[in-house]
Amino acid sequence: MRAIAMTTNGTPTVLQPQDVISPKINAPQEILIRLRAAGINPIDTKLRRRGTFYPEQIPAILGCDGAGVVEAVGNEVTRFQVGDEVYFCNGGLGKKGTGNYAEYAVVDERFVARKPQSLSFAEAAAAPLVLITAWEALYDRGRLEAGRRVLVHAGAGGVGHVAIQLAKLKGADVCTTVSGTQKAEFVKGLGATPIDYKATDFVDAVNDWTNGEGVELAFDTVGGENLEKTFPAVQLYGDVVTILSPAENTNWKEARSRNLRIGLELMLTPQLTNHLEAQLAQTKILEQCSRLIDQGGLKIHLNQTFPLEKAAEAHQTLEAGGMIGKLALVMD
């Protein structure tokens, strides 16, 4: 099959088109999926630059997110049959026999959900990781409830634009940091109040928006010093959830004085630790999001697609920054 192999860690040029052996069903609960598209995520570019979780298994196929059509099923598969359209977040972390920058993938049926009927394969492939990340961050880590006020950082980004919508679906009011008019108009369309962080101090803007009280929940999708800068925008006993590792020099004094509850969100934990219960919970998240999408309550903004062979170009585009929404590779 055609695939994009990461031959070593480094620049996007290490992503090389190759012909490799197609994966085969080796367990009774596995399904063979003919991939129609694969999502591109920041974790892909990080693994390419720094090395995968399984460096001894290079070359590797990246790509956690995939969407396609079931082509064969194991003899104990009960949830799917040949011809079903599916989407999922599984593999792509460097382990042999996994990864979705390819024409085929084999995945345990328990970690796969039916594709939203209203989405194209490319849109569906762009969705799983950001859906699960935003859902877990807001609903599980942040314990979001109706009537709460939420600050979402980088609301025009992949995780951010989904987080805005999930917060609104929960009955929350949302403000979000963006830069520029185009992104401001985009997040307004999602129901959020934009804050141009390049034109104003976002903490001042948040406190103005909340009449000096601060938000009940802040969701950091940026990392670095942004986490520490966010603490004064959160009310006493509020929540802050981040999807990035806090900087080593983070000053926690403000967070401590406010009695903030800090949540760390890494949606890859279940896969990296083989935590079955948590993996099954993530499948349920995708199933619920599929229904929300088909009901019109949740949208995935696909910014651009690239042919499979242009994976290196897709990585360059993502790393250039400033993009609204998501990217995907398409196999046809």
Q: What is the pLDDT of residues 158-172, one digit of tens each?
A: 999 999 999 999 999
Same structural domain, 135 and 88: no
Whether residue 180 has pLDDT greater than 90? yes
Same structural domain, 242 and 304: no
Instruction: Give the Cα separation of 318 and 97 in Å (integer).
Output: 25
Whether residue 155 has pLDDT greater than 90? yes
Please say which residue of 264, 283, 311 terminates a domain: 264
Q: Which two tokens stand for residue 209?
A: 């928006």
Same structural domain, 150 and 227: yes
- Please tell me the predicted confidence (pLDDT) of residue 201: 97
Same structural domain, 170 and 83: no
Identify the CATH number of the domain in which residue 151 sits.
3.40.50.720
- Please tell me the predicted confidence (pLDDT) of residue 262: 98
- Please tell me the predicted confidence (pLDDT) of residue 44: 98
In the 3-class helix/strand/coil scheme, how is 145-211 assigned residue by residue? CCCCEEEECCCCCHHHHHHHHHHHHCCCEEEEEECCHHHHHHHHHCCCEEEECCCCCHHHHHHHHCC
Whether residue 244 has pLDDT greater than 90? yes
Nearest to 287 by CA among 78, 72, 36, 89: 89
- Please tell me the predicted confidence (pLDDT) of residue 300: 98
Q: What is the mean pLDDT of the chain?
A: 97
Q: How confident is the model at residue 66 (pLDDT cuts 50, 70, 90)?
A: very high
Please say which residue of 264, 290, 319 terminates a domain: 264
Whether residue 228 has pLDDT greater than 90? yes
Q: How confident is the model at residue 183 (pLDDT cuts 50, 70, 90)?
A: very high
Q: What is the mean pLDDT of residues 24-44?
A: 98
Q: Which two tokens stand for residue 27?
A: 């367990």
pLDDT tens, position by position, 80-137: 999 999 999 999 999 999 999 999 999 999 999 999 999 999 999 999 999 999 999 9
Same structural domain, 240 and 208: yes
Residue 111: domain span: 2-127+271-330
Give how many domains the chain has, as a whole number: 2
- Please tell me the predicted confidence (pLDDT) of residue 176: 98
State which H helix or E strand residue 106 sits in: strand 104-108
pTM above 0.85?
yes
Please say which residue of 240, 264, 288 terminates a domain: 264
- Please tell me the predicted confidence (pLDDT) of residue 77: 98
How many angstroms from the chain centroid is the CA of residue 93? 14
Q: What is the mean pLDDT of residues 259-265?
A: 98
- Residue 110 in contact with residue 279, Cβ under 8 Å? yes
Same structural domain, 170 and 191: yes
Identify the CATH number of the domain in which residue 34 sits.
3.90.180.10
15: β partners: 6
Whether residue 332 has pLDDT greater than 90? no
Whether residue 207 has pLDDT greater than 90? yes
